[in-house]
Structure 1
Amino acid sequence: MNQGHRRNRKRRNAIVLVAGLAAGGVGLALVTMQANATDAPRATTRAASPISCPSVADRLPDVPQQARAEVDRNLELLRSQIAEAGNRLATTRGQGGPDFVQNAILGPLKDKRTATVDRIALAISRTGAPRPQGLSGLAACTLAGGRGQQGRGQQGQGQQGQQGQQGQGASPSPAAGNGPVPEDFVDITKVAPNVPARPRSGRNASKGVFKTRCGVNAEGRHNSDNVIVAPGVGNGAHHTHDYVGAIGVDAFTTDDTLAAADTTCTNGDRSTYYWPVLRDRGGVEQADAGKPGGGAEGNIGKILTPTSASLTFVGSPTTKVVAMPRFLRIITGDAKANANGGANANAAWSCTGFENRVQLKDKYPICPAGSEVVRTERFQSCWDGRNTDSANHRSHVAFADARGRCPAGFKAVPQLVQRLTYSGLAGSTAFAVDSFPESLHKPITDHGDFINAMPERLMKQAVSCINSGRRCG
């Protein structure tokens, strides 16, 4: 797992959102901060295109203690540079020729970011740690309106055409260039077994299982927010999530509102479990066909309700587990894995009847008749013992190694295993997971999000159950 350094949740890179390029000018800028809900403007991101800058924090190795203050300062500077560029974009709209935005805004922004990421790399290398490689490639930012505006226009035409076809009884087809492509699918019956043997359990293993039953989101609770990654920012995910557990979770949910929420779970678990929806892209369009998080961002087709949603907590093959802290946040997988190189990808696709033999990371399965599509997410099971979140939302938790051992300084906690199944897709290549527009619905971008809000007594029950080898829930 890519180990980013730990920072307070209040100090996060900014995301500057701007309207798409219009004829002869630049649209109005909307600046929002990717910060926690107490200090972020409560603006809904309805603009079509962002100034999109690669995340430097997500690409950093574990930052030595001696360098953290300087790295923090420079990460904060990156945030302010993006905000300043967004403000300039707004105040200069309509000025200059066709190259004005590149020459006057994006070009200078790249130069500033180049110098800043170089200072970050230098600060780390001064401690004797290896100098991070590849950071200079993160300096360039883009205004998606140039390319993305055209793409959205094509997509809109495609959707209008699809709706026209529907009137004639034909099934719509995904918009050209929006993904997925035929190469993203594979006949699971032709894939060689690839599931490794599980680690052998030691004498101190925690072999129990605790299940929390929270339903399948049959009520259709959806939104395109992500309170972990983009608190206080509406449509921060740019794709739609299913939610089970705590009711009413959105970008503005706080620990206090989560603790007081009603829940779909039968045991009083107020945790929130959410994941990108799966859509049937060969059938009728969903009601969100033209809305943010839906068709406006390339997520088209009917949202499928899982036939089952299993949320199971399991133990460690080497040690007893300790209780998760309340409000621990865990993201598993990477919604931008196809662009980020796959280091944090954790997708696992299969079909019922094949799960013990075949798990696919970068392919969707074509399942045989009578088999259901399966999505499985095994969350990180090691916790640093101190933090409930970190700057990149990853450094405070980790995966155990091949033998089931946590990294030095980390403690084993109950591991969430999320398993979703979908019927009616046997033989189909017309389904896809929701994604950011640039992620093209690649199967490797599947991911899951979890905030622990179990009452303390319930977490104690789960730990006792797992450590004593029982099956509960």
Structure 2
Amino acid sequence: MKINAVTAALGLASPAQALLRFGCAKLTIQRLDPLVTPGQNPSPHLHQIIGGNSFNVSMPHPEHDLPSLSTCTSCQFTEDFSNYWTAVLYFRARNGTYKRVPQIAQAGMEGTQGGMVVYYMSDALFDTAQKSTVTAFKPGFRMLIGEASYTTRDQARDFRQLTYTCMENQASRSPESIGFPKTPCKLGIMANHRFPTCWDGVNLDTPNHRDHVAYPETGTFESGGRCPSTHPVKIPQILLETVWDTSAFNKKEDWPADGSQPFCWSSGDCSGFGSHADYVFGWKGDTLQKAMDGHTYVSAPMLKTQSIAEQNKCVAKEMVKENFDGWLKALPGGGGMPMA
């Protein structure tokens, strides 16, 4: 899937300097993955999805145009019909049964049902100037960060900035760990998914959903590293923050007898190194470019917003009928370690 050279050149000529931060409510929780396993119903493991309600089993470009097919979005900005999704977190009890971990809204977004907080940045989160030039994504753009099958630290080195924060309170943002926290977290566990920030300027997608994007040559997005010559176009940093409310599972007597941490992704990974997230661009028209051109920090007066109540009302149709709540003998799809 490619974008023509003229369009790419126009994108390069359009500077954008801004930081957007907004909440998105849960759109649906289903065992579907139109990026990795398009057309497969159900997919191997469970995902939590936010964004436009045209999310479906298969979403080919250009046939599946999210802004025109969606009638609502679970995100604060009504022009954003993109879809974002991650795996779902489960607690594994000492007897081997699993229970889905609920989510908690961040401060100022109370009342949001599940979901995540989404960032689009030109520079580091703490940099209020946001001076760097970035190019907004194009229709049909999609990408994947992380690998669900990874279970070791060495494997996880393939990706940068996929981390966890053991939250003492709503203000907690450090320290960050690469694997799951080893001790109980008073408020919960925040999963941080930071996507690559360099694009080849041609391909909207690639077979593995990764090769068209890259990390800076050195360091990270926050450290101002230069994009490699193979991927010269600097795109916004997308950061997803999901706060999993693990407070109900903090009793050490409920944790594994060997003292290891008890949380697992719905993919079956209990190390935390299999953290992953998917993105399918779906902003209406050129609204994202205009917002990034707005030189704003967090606020975006050029975009339309909706209330949390309206966000909560936006849901996708149920396409997989299965139980993923309550105490389960195995993870949905059969992943993880079965009950003894």
TM range (shorter): 0.5 to 0.7
Q: Specify the alignment match of 1:240 in structure 2.
A: 46
For 2:165, give the aligned amino acid: S
Does residue 319 of the first structure (1) align with residue 127 of the second (2)?
no
1:462 is aligned to: 291
TM normalised by structure 1 equals 0.47
| Letter aligned with residue 55 of structure 2 | V
Could you say what the CA RMSD is over the residues aligned between the two structures, in angstroms? Answer: 3.0
Name the amino acid aligned to 1:450.
Y
**SS of corresponding position for 2:151:** helix
Deviation at 1:248, TM superposition (A): 4.5
Q: Distance in 1 between matches of 2:188 and 2:29?
A: 23
Asked if the contact 2:31–2:41 (Cα under 8 Å) also holds between the matched residues in 1, the reply is yes
More relative contact order, 1 or 2 (CA 8 Å, 6+ apart): 2
Of 281, 289, 296, which residue of structure 2 is paired with 1:452?
281
Is 1:417 the counterpart of 2:239? The answer is yes
Deviation at 1:213, TM superposition (A): 3.0
Q: What is the match of residue 399 of structure 1?
A: 215
SS of corresponding position for 2:190: strand
AA matched with 1:418:
L
Question: Which SS does the other structure have where 1:337 is aligned?
Answer: coil
Q: Which has the larger radius of gyration?
A: 1
1:344 partnered with 2:158? yes
State the SS of the aligned residue for 2:177. Answer: coil
One-letter code aligned to 2:66: L
Change (3 A) 1:307 1:235: same
Return the TM-score normalized by structure 2: 0.64
Residue number among 278, 292, 299 corresponding to 2:89 in the alignment: 278
Q: Deviations over 1:397-432 (max 9, x none)?
A: 111231421111421111111111123437364332
Which of 181, 188, 194 does residue 364 from structure 1 map onto? 181
Q: Percent identity?
A: 19
Q: Distance in 2 between matches of 1:307 and 1:381?
A: 27
Is this contact kept in 1: 2:193–2:276, CA < 8 A? yes
Contact 1:385 1:411 in 2 (8 A): yes
Q: Is the 8 A contact 2:49 2:86 kept in 1?
A: yes
Structure 2: 5+ residue stretches without partners = 3-14, 107-115, 125-130, 252-260, 301-340
Q: Is it true that 1:249 corresponds to 2:72 in the alignment? A: no
For 1:212 and 1:433, locate their aligned partners in 2 and report how far apart those are by CA, in whole Å: 25
1:165-200 deviation per Cα after TM superposition (whole angstroms, max 9, x unaligned) = xxxxxxxxxxxxxxxxxxxxxxxxxxxxxxxxxxxx
* 1:314 CA displacement: 0.7
Deviations 1:271-308 (A, max 9, x none): 00111011233499xxxxxxxxxxxxx99322523434
Structure 2 distance, partners of 1:311, 1:351, is 19
Offset at 1:241?
Answer: 0.3
> Is the counterpart of residue 258 in structure 1 residue 66 in structure 2?
yes
User: What's the counterpart of residue 266 of structure 2?
Assistant: 434
Partner of 1:267: 77
The structure in which a higher percent of residues are helix is 1
Deviation track 1:3-48 (CA, whole Å, cap 9, x = no partner) reads xxxxx59xxxxxxxxxxxxxxxxxxxxxxxxxxxxxxxxxxxxxxx
